Structure 1
Amino acid sequence: MTPQTKTPLDLPPVPPFERLTKLLEEAEHEASTARAQLEQAHGQMAVIQRERDRAVSTIRKLNREAFFDLARRAEQRDGESPLHTARIGAYSGLIATGLGCTPAWCELLESAAQMHDIGKIGIHDSILSKTGPLTTEEWRLMREHPRIGAAIIGQSDEPLLQLASEIAMTHHEHYNGAGYPLGLCGRDIPLAGRIVAVADFFDALTHDRSYRKALPVDTVFSMIRERRGEQFDSQVVDAFLSIAEQIKQTRQRMVEQERVYHATEGWDGDWWMLA
């Protein structure tokens, strides 16, 4: 018998050098084309991303402006000056600064606080503009404006509106638990609500309302001091009193702005907010 011989593996023929070079060039060209297409795709995605971000930013800006406008309209229905919301924001920002809060949060609070009474848009004019004492039922309805405000702003992933909703719900809570609508007590009341409570009290009592005349500024400072640890958080009151001169100067500046506003009520736009 003839022994079985092993056959060599069938290997593809080795291409000549020129052919190999051409294959490498073609592969490099394809890779270069793929890289260019990928870069183009990345560029297009970046454009789409920027356009999307601009669209989201525009929507959020329009959304914020709608809430600010609604808050100002609610205050006007209550007989307040359009500058009331701006004053509350300014005082709240100053108090937060006095407490040592971060500049970014103070700025956020100054804007969010301006929506504190947005829920009054849901209260009937007969209650808001009443010159005499409210009946028990009218007062019950009035005390619902924090819930209404929080519901109007709703849930949002935007920090400004989250804080505004929190303020709308809690700025009438009292540190001793005697406030409304939730009856929260002490540190269970968010800091923003505790700050705006003092700012709102000060502004409300130092300006004329449909049912009473304004009180002297120093009298209201004394009233806030007397309510320290009861209606108001002691630390917030201390911060407020420590910047009393800044509060007075800010109030005077905004009173002067209000005189200009009333002298030019026919003008359109929010020009007065820019001063």
Structure 2
Amino acid sequence: MTHPTPDTSLHRQIERLTRQLESLEADRSNAHTLLDQARANLARTERERDQAVRAVNQLRRDAFLNLARDAEYRDGESPMHTFRIGVYAGLIATSLGCTPAWCEMLERAAQMHDIGKIGIHDSILSKTGPLTTEEWRIMREHPRIGAAIIGQSTEPLLQMAGEIALTHHEHYNGAGYPLGLCGNDIPLAGRIVGVADFFDALTHDRNYRKALPVDTVLSMIRERRGEQFDPQVVDAFLRISSQIKAARQRIIEQERFCEATEGWDGDWWMLA
């Protein structure tokens, strides 16, 4: 009985293909390893980039807040003015039903609303009498100056801060400055800070006039509903007027404490 002769050529081909498959498998394993390493390196690079961006943004926020503080000093204001505006704006936004995250961002961004006053000469900021027409023209440029200082940013908080700096003196009826915007063309953050700033400015002494009673200022805001101020923002403000009064009194007490202890240094805007 005879046996078939093995096909050595076919056997060699199979062995060769097997080695090729093993080599391809090794290459694929190496490729996966290299890909995993590349992904890990990319993730680390992205984390480092994000950390650097956060650090730079924090430095910018701190610098802008310090400029805003300096501007208030030069305007004869307490640095707590900026803090009060932030608190009032956050309360108004909450009354309007804005999200907690947006309200928190507004509270911080609103503190930079008058940063542009850093670019106005002391002779105008500290003047005790009425401003001349030319001085008033210069003074009305502080929103543009503030927006230019903050500049373009991809960070939402600084975007909002620039928006507020530019528009917090716009009037709902279009009679404000610097752009003459009206109605909902004025960003909501600017409309809110406009009311908060009006209330705070008139209920505290300035170098050119004494403070008005709180209830008198509340009546003035009510009278300007739909003209200088957004009706919905006014309604939201008046709904929480008792909270506004309580916050104002609390901050005044904090201010007295800071003055007594010379405690203006540090994160004064984070008092709560």
TM-score (norm 2): 0.91
- C-alpha displacement at 1:181, in angstroms? 1.3
- C-alpha displacement at 1:18, in angstroms? 5.7
Relative to structure 1, the CA distance from residue 135 to residue 256 in structure 2 (aligned partners, 3 Å threshold; closer, same or farther) is: same
Q: C-alpha distance in 1, partners of 2:266/2:95?
A: 32
- C-alpha displacement at 1:250, in angstroms? 0.8
Q: Does 1:66 align with 2:49?
A: no
Secondary structure of the residue that 2:179 maps to in structure 1?
coil
| % identical equivalent positions | 76
After superposing on structure 2, the runs of 4+ consecutive aligned residues of structure 1 that deviate more than 6 Å are: none
More displaced stretch, 64-73 vs 259-268: 259-268
The total of aligned residue pairs comes to 264
Alignment counterpart, residue 87 of structure 2, candidates 86, 90, 99: 90
Q: C-alpha distance in 2, partners of 1:187/1:35?
A: 55
Residue equivalent to 1:244: 241
Residue equivalent to 1:212: 209
**8 A contact 1:173–1:183 mirrored in 2:** yes
Relative to structure 1, the CA distance from residue 125 to residue 186 in structure 2 (aligned partners, 3 Å threshold; closer, same or farther) is: same
**Unpaired runs of at least 5, structure 1:** 1-11
Q: C-alpha distance in 2, partners of 1:141/1:126?
A: 11
Secondary structure of the residue that 2:166 maps to in structure 1?
helix
Secondary structure of the residue that 1:228 maps to in structure 2?
coil
State the Cα deviation string for residues 7-53 of structure 1 (Å, max 9, x = none). Answer: xxxxx754176665444433322322222122112111111111111
Q: C-alpha distance in 2, partners of 1:38/1:25?
A: 20
Residue equivalent to 2:182: 185
- C-alpha displacement at 1:72, in angstroms? 1.3
Residue equivalent to 1:200: 197
**8 A contact 1:261–1:272 mirrored in 2:** no
State the Cα deviation string for residues 198-239 of structure 1 (Å, max 9, x = none). Answer: 100100011111111111111111111111122111111111
Alignment counterpart, residue 108 of structure 1, candidates 84, 105, 118: 105
Relative to structure 1, the CA distance from residue 25 to residue 123 in structure 2 (aligned partners, 3 Å threshold; closer, same or farther) is: same
Amino acid at match of 1:262: E
More displaced stretch, 243-252 vs 101-110: 101-110
More displaced stretch, 96-105 vs 243-252: 96-105
Alignment counterpart, residue 135 of structure 1, candidates 125, 132, 141: 132
State the Cα deviation string for residues 79-115 of structure 1 (Å, max 9, x = none). Answer: 1111111110110111111111222221121111111
Amino acid at match of 2:180: G
Q: Does 1:78 align with 2:75?
A: yes
Q: C-alpha distance in 1, partners of 2:166/2:264?
A: 33
Secondary structure of the residue that 2:222 maps to in structure 1?
helix
Residue equivalent to 1:56: 53
Which structure: larger Rg? 1
Secondary structure of the residue that 2:37 maps to in structure 1?
helix
Counterpart mapping for 1:226-237 below 5 A: 226-237=223-234
Q: C-alpha distance in 2, partners of 1:119/1:272?
A: 18
Secondary structure of the residue that 2:67 maps to in structure 1?
helix
Alignment counterpart, residue 45 of structure 1, candidates 27, 42, 45: 42
Alignment counterpart, residue 259 of structure 1, candidates 250, 253, 256: 256
Counterpart mapping for 1:15-30 below 5 A: 15=12, 21-30=18-27
Amino acid at match of 1:229: G
Q: C-alpha distance in 2, partners of 1:248/1:56?
A: 39
More displaced stretch, 196-205 vs 54-63: 54-63
- C-alpha displacement at 1:242, in angstroms? 0.2
Q: C-alpha distance in 1, partners of 2:56/2:124?
A: 34
Q: C-alpha distance in 1, partners of 2:144/2:268?
A: 31
Secondary structure of the residue that 1:178 maps to in structure 2?
coil
**8 A contact 2:83–2:269 mirrored in 1:** no
Residue equivalent to 1:117: 114
